[in-house]
Amino acid sequence: MTEIVLPVLAAVEGPTFESLGLDPKILKGIHDLGFIRPTPIQAKAIPPILEGRDLIGCAQTGTGKTAAFVLPILHRLLQTAKTRHVRALIVSPTREIAQQSIDHLNSLSKHVHLKGTAIYGGTPMNPQISALMKGLDIISATPGRLLDHVWSGRIDFRDLQILVLDEVDRMLDMGFLPDMKRIISLLPQTRQTLVFSATLPSEIQKLVSEILKNSVTIQIGQKSSAAVGIRHAVYPVPRHLKEALLEQMLRGEGMTSVLVFTRTKRLADKLSNTLKRRGFKVSVLHGDRSQSQREQALAQFREGRNQIMVATDIAARGLDIAEISHVINFDIPVVPEDYVHRIGRTARADATGDAFSLMDRTEEGMIKDIERILQKPLPRVTLPNFSYNVPPPPRPANSQPSHHSRGPRHFHR
């Protein structure tokens, strides 16, 4: 089950969920989960959504954005007559994020008779077709599989009231803009549109200005800023010693639940296999894994059966896993905003966590770009008792330089 991000402690001053005007049935579900007060993005976003306003919600990862739109969607649908067709649509860039919205829906709607399902590729069509035939109030979907069902006549948007574009900057980055525009063209002109993201690049601002009407913008924290509770450190290290440095770090105290990011799927597989051979329990997550493999990897990591998960940037969004102790960037992300999303997997919901980055000399410029958007320097540190002077192994005759030595080009996630 996805970790639901709702709470701050009852002793903290601020609004309660009761003060937001949510339906008593929804409040009962919230209190059953033990939550009393909303996070800042929830407190700021829920009232204008309940008023029917279009909204742009921008906040750091781990701050509860999903519940900030799921809760008012549940409330608004309870106030209108049930129909045979979908009334709320959530569009997300990845399977994990699409499923997260439905996990929140299921957790928060135990006393509310509304039906929803997640629709995404990589899984059989028949269970999704069966759910659609029975009638759904809410669909959470990735763009491609959603359009497959639409073109086959299984989804009718005539009664749609609310559209949510979740992690919209990632949808643009992953090339979903044409599909997003097709989906939007199929929806009723009279609807409420909500856009949520951790960052809001200028390209996204142009898109939302075209599809939102009389909108309100909620900005929690600085744009492209990292969560407050994260301790950053950069470890300068030659490329050929990264694996050895990572291994020594992983054997240190407190490395209980570590998410390691690589830039490519191939390297994620290679690194996870290396760590397994050295005695670590490792999950691996990237776009070439089947849905069952992805679910198993997440379950093993979330439940603590595996200490480490090696992943590409597919895991930088939509993974609400409690108590990740460390995020380690084995490769520095090419896009500096991706650093914010990666490290947001730790220090969630006002907790603390560590973000370590292994930087070789070709990645110094990327770290400087990250420091620029964070508006602060990241400390350079060295690991005690680690030998940084081991020479690289001799290169075989007639071998070609690796892609790392040439610097970043196009990397698939």
Tens-place pLDDT, residues 314-355: 765 656 666 788 899 999 988 887 888 777 655 444 445 788
In a domain, 25, yes or no: yes
Q: How far apart are CA 335 and CA 408, in angstroms?
A: 11
| Helical axes 95-108 vs 291-302, angle rounded to 10° | 60
Token pair 């907790």 is found at 351
> In whole angstroms, how far apart are CA 196 and each of 42, 138, 169, 364, 409?
12, 17, 9, 31, 29
> Distance (Å, rounded) from C-alpha 261 to C-alpha 331?
7
Instruction: Indicate the residue among 219, 242, 271 that finishes a domain.
Output: 219
Band (361; pLDDT cuts 50, 70, 90): very high
Q: How far is CA 267 from the centre of its chain?
A: 21
206 lies in some domain: yes
Q: Are residues 215 and 269 in the same domain?
A: no
Q: Which 8-state DSSP code applies to residue 380?
A: B
Say whether both 159 and 51 belong to one domain. yes
Q: Computed over its alpha carbons, how large is the radius of gyration of the chain?
A: 22
- Do 267 and 359 fall into the same domain? yes
The Cα–Cα gap between 242 and 331 comes to 9
For residue 397, tell me if it sits in a domain.
no
Whether 360 has a pLDDT exceeding 90, the answer reads yes
Straight-line distance from the first to the last Cα atom of the chain, in angstroms, rounded to the nearest whole number? 24
Q: Which of 269, 229, 248, 236 is nearest to 353 (CA)?
A: 229
Predicted pLDDT at 11: 37
Looking at the fold, whether 246 and 296 belong to one and the same domain comes out as: yes
Alpha-carbon distance of 172 to 374, in angstroms, equals: 22
% of residues, the chain, pLDDT over 90: 44
Tell me: do 334 and 362 sit in the same domain: yes
Which secondary-structure segment (H or E) carries 217?
strand 216-219
How big is the chain, counted in residues?
Answer: 413
Could you give the CA distance from residue 163 to residue 195 in angstroms, rounded to a whole number? 8
In a domain, residue 379? The reply is no
What CATH number corresponds to the domain at position 315? 3.40.50.300
Q: What is the pLDDT of residue 355?
A: 87
44 shares its domain with 167: yes
Residue 399: predicted pLDDT: 54
pLDDT tens digits, one per residue of 298-313: 888 888 899 999 988 7
Give yes or no: residues 180 and 287 share one domain.
no
How far is it, in rounded angstroms, from Cα 51 to Cα 383? 53
Supply the range of the domain harboring residue 188.
18-219
Q: Is the dihedral of CA 251, 267, 167, 367 positive or negative?
A: positive
At 100, is the pLDDT very low, low, confident or very high (cuts 50, 70, 90)?
A: confident
- Of the residues 151, 185, 219, the one at which a domain ends: 219
Predicted confidence (pLDDT) per residue in 42-79, tens digit? 999 999 999 999 999 987 766 788 899 999 999 999 99
Domain count, the chain: 2
| pLDDT exceeds cutoff 70 at 287 | yes
Considering the domain architecture, whether residues 49 and 188 belong to the same structural domain is answered as yes
Q: What is the pLDDT of residue 249?
A: 92
Query: Do 53 and 168 share a domain, yes or no?
Result: yes
- Give the CA distances from residue 311 to residues 37, 64, 138, 194, 408, in Å, rounded to whole numbers and listed in that order: 33, 22, 30, 29, 18
Question: Does residue 113 form part of some domain?
Answer: yes
Whether residue 102 lies inside any domain: the answer is yes
Q: Is the pLDDT of residue 10 over 50?
A: no
pTM of the predicted protein model: 0.64
**What is the C-alpha separation between 226 and 157, in angstroms, rounded?**
37
Question: DSSP secondary-structure letter at 119?
Answer: E
Distance between CA 143 and CA 141 in Å, rounded? 6
**260: buried, middle or exposed (CB in 10 Å: 19+, 13-18, 0-12)?**
buried
Q: Residue 163's beta-bridge partner residues?
A: 89, 193
- Residues 203 and 256 grouped into a single domain: no
Tokens, residue 216 = 């309100």
C-alpha span between 82 and 102 (Å, rounded): 19
Residue keyed to tokens 């609310």: 162
CA 192 to chain centre: 23
Structure tokens at 179: 């599909």
Q: 271 with 158, same domain? A: no
The percent of residues above 70 in pLDDT, for the chain, comes to: 84
Output 395 or 211, whichever has higher pLDDT: 211
Q: Evaluate if residue 113 carries a pLDDT over 50.
A: yes
Of the candidates 221, 173, 206, the one whose C-alpha atom is nearest the C-alpha of residue 337 is 173
392 inside domain: no
- Whether the CB-CB separation of 57 and 65 falls below 8 Å is answered with yes
Does residue 179 belong to any structural domain of this protein? yes
- Average pLDDT score, the chain: 83
pLDDT number for residue 349: 41
pLDDT of residue 308: 94
* Cα(59)–Cα(169) distance, integer angstroms: 12
**Are residues 241 and 192 part of one domain?**
no
What are the strands, taking DSSP E only, across 347-411? Answer: 353-359
